[in-house]
Amino acid sequence: MRLGKNPTRPKTRILTAGEDACRLLEHLRGHGPDYLSGPQVQALRQIVLQNYYRDEKGRLRWRTADGGGLPPSSVAIISPYDVQARYARRGQVTRWKGFLVHLTESCADEGTNVITDVATTPATTNDAQALPGIHTRLQRRRLLPAEHLVDGGYTSLVHVAQAASEHQVTVTGPLPGNLTRQHRENQGFGRDDFHIDFDRQQVTCPQGQISKGWHGPYPTSSPTAAPLIVARFTKAQCQPCLVRNQCTTSRDSARNVGFPPRKLLDLQAQARAEQQSPAWQRRYAVRSGIEGTVNEFAHGHGMRQCRYHGHRKAHVQHVLTAIAVNVERLSVGLLPDELSPARPPTAFQNHLDHNGIPRLRSWRAVTS
């Protein structure tokens, strides 16, 4: 059901559509289970479940965040035509519906850069979760790099460590900053002010107190977050402490310190120190070239418009686009400049030239 910009009685129309859909599903159920098994009926059932609920009196209601609750965006159907497409948000301005494509290209100093991998994931999937698949495919094709430059979305500690141990690939990219309150407000004792002794399973605080409990590592609910070890100080230690206000706001006046396992903590410290160096920043600057490639896919080949329905078919479109880009790049690289045939001007360009109107060169002309 589509509503115009200013529909009359929108709520009534939405509820009427819901009642119609429920009646249709009941009608199909009455004809037997075979009528309910098709993909379109299943999609309708899911859409009804995700958009409506029955209140305590059995009346159909339209779901909102406050009434009935909304499904998580990772499962919410946003189009009856493509039930695998998802709605995603990045930052304050980026919004899109569909999928997410991850492009990997070579970036050697010399020679043509070619696309070596294309991954298509649901739009709501965290970028870092695409890394293991990318490295496995690159290894199968014998295209695995020694160093993989990525943006900050891909650098989860877990996946950086996994790439190093399973594929011997150094993932280089800015690690997410320290998100603790103390670090944000630049005051108080943050985790780095505590000394962690993994061998004795003890943490020493800035006041010289030694933790009384060591728990974990606990797995986290996020697939990209590192497991967490928690060291606990007791009320008896923290309550009389003169600098307690700089350390904890907890109600029971005792500080807990959370940190990842030793291997991940060392990796994090090393990466954070390294990324401050000018050598690292020079090396990492090469990554920005991929933005031009994304632009080439999006504006030169219409990648932001899915021509097909479904995750698998969208992926085929992305792979075919990458093949076209590679063929185009390699064929330009093979032709010496003097042999490149000049493209004749179009009728529109002739018209601009004829009237003395300056015309902008396209991105293709600019890069050639």
Give the nearest distance from C-beta 229 to ligand SF4 in angstroms.
16
Q: How many CB atoms lie within 10 A of CB 4?
A: 7
User: Could you say whether residue 327 binds ligand SF4 (CB under 6 A)?
Assistant: no
Would you say 183 or 272 has its CB closer to ligand SF4? 183
Give the nearest distance from C-beta 260 to ligand SF4 in angstroms.
20
Give the nearest distance from C-beta 250 to ligand SF4 in angstroms.
9
Would you say 231 or 303 has its CB closer to ligand SF4? 231
CA distances from 43 to 21, 49, 241, 295, 352 (A): 11, 10, 60, 34, 51
360 burial type by CB count under 10 A (0-12 exposed, 13-18 middle, 19+ buried):
exposed
Would you say 52 or 189 has its CB closer to ligand SF4? 189
Distance CA(362)–CA(187), nearest Å, equals 51
Would you say 207 or 275 has its CB closer to ligand SF4? 207
Give the nearest distance from C-beta 217 to ligand SF4 in angstroms.
21
Give the nearest distance from C-beta 195 to ligand SF4 in angstroms.
11
Give the nearest distance from C-beta 265 to ligand SF4 in angstroms.
19
Task: Return the half-sphere exposure (C-beta side, CA atoms, 13 A cut-off) of residue 152.
Answer: 7
Residue ranges of alpha helices (H) inside 8-146 are: 10-30, 39-51, 131-140
166 CB-near residues (< 8 Å, 6+ apart): 132, 135
Q: What is the 3-state secondary structure (H, E, C) of 50-66?
A: HHEEECCCCCEEECECC
Give the nearest distance from C-beta 233 to ligand SF4 in angstroms.
4
Would you say 135 or 255 has its CB closer to ligand SF4? 255
Tell me, what amino acid is at 183?
Answer: H
Binding pattern for the stretch 185-224 against ligand SF4, x by CB under 6 A and - elsewhere: --------------------xxx-x---------------
Give the nearest distance from C-beta 249 to ligand SF4 in angstroms.
11
Task: Return the half-sphere exposure (C-beta side, CA atoms, 13 A cut-off) of residue 50.
Answer: 17
Distance CA(161)–CA(158), nearest Å, equals 5
Residues 217-276 within binding reach of ligand SF4 (CB under 6 A):
233, 237-238, 241, 243-244, 247-248, 255
Q: How many CB atoms lie within 10 A of CB 295?
A: 12
Give the nearest distance from C-beta 211 to ligand SF4 in angstroms.
8
Distance CA(268)–CA(216), nearest Å, equals 19
Binding pattern for the stretch 128-157 against ligand SF4, x by CB under 6 A and - elsewhere: ------------------------------
Give the nearest distance from C-beta 159 to ligand SF4 in angstroms.
32
How many of the chain's residues bind ligand SF4 (CB under 6 A)?
13
Would you say 133 or 206 has its CB closer to ligand SF4? 206
177 CB-near residues (< 8 Å, 6+ apart): 183
Would you say 84 or 204 has its CB closer to ligand SF4? 204
Tell me, what amino acid is at 52?
Answer: Y
Would you say 233 or 297 has its CB closer to ligand SF4? 233
Would you say 224 or 237 has its CB closer to ligand SF4? 237
Would you say 171 or 238 has its CB closer to ligand SF4? 238
Using the CB atoms, write b or e for 336-353: b if 16+ within 10 Å. eeeeeeeeeeeeeeeeee
Give the three-class secondary structure for 269: helix
Q: Which residues bind ligand SF4 (CB under 6 A)?
A: 205-207, 209, 233, 237-238, 241, 243-244, 247-248, 255
